[in-house]
Amino acid sequence: MRAKVDKLVEQEMKKRPASLKRDQVLNFPANFEFFKDSPVLTTEYQRVQQGKPIAEMDTSRYKLAEPEDKEDQEGWKKAVDNSKAQLQHQNLRLHNYQLEHELQQYQKIMEEYKQEILDLNKQRKSEQLQAGNQIEALNNKWNEMIGQTLQVEVACASLEVETLNRYLEVE
């Protein structure tokens, strides 16, 4: 497997320009630490670098031991109690996995609702901004029309005064 990966890396490196390869080597830090934030991954990386095999999982706690004395009633009772406890433990683990799955589904639904709410709020904001612009435009138009009405009223009052002055001159 390693040979296959090395071959793929070598093929990929051949595709890159020579100057790019040289720049990458120059920019890569010499004292780079892999997995410095995770002690578990650090120790596992060191194990792999040293070529040590992976430690086998301890399955002894899952074994159901029978009593040494086959005739011992108390021993058999303890063995049965142990098997019941392990069965209950496995049932609880299964139940926890089911609850975790259900929780993940609820979290996914909640994220979808949050996105819908966000979209709705964006839509409302857009509509409110448009309505605000329309209200402002109508307010400006109303002010303009009031101004024109006042100008007409001033003109009418001026004409009335002028008419009254001419009437008084004629008499």
Question: Does any domain span residue 50?
Answer: yes
Question: Does any domain span residue 29?
Answer: yes
| pLDDT tens series, the chain, 171 aa | 888 888 888 888 777 766 555 555 556 566 667 777 888 888 888 888 888 888 888 777 777 778 888 888 888 898 899 889 999 999 999 999 999 999 999 999 999 999 999 999 999 999 999 999 999 999 999 999 999 999 999 999 999 999 999 888 887
- pLDDT of 136 reads 97
How many domains does the structure of the chain reveal? 1
The average confidence (pLDDT) of the chain is 87
The rounded distance, in Å, linking the Cα atoms of 94 and 124 is: 45
Domain hosting 27: range is 1-54
Question: Does any domain span residue 137?
Answer: no
- At 53 the three-state DSSP class reads coil
- At 135 the three-state DSSP class reads helix
- pLDDT of 44 reads 86
Question: Does any domain span residue 67?
Answer: no
Contacts of 54 (CB under 8 A, 6+ apart): 47
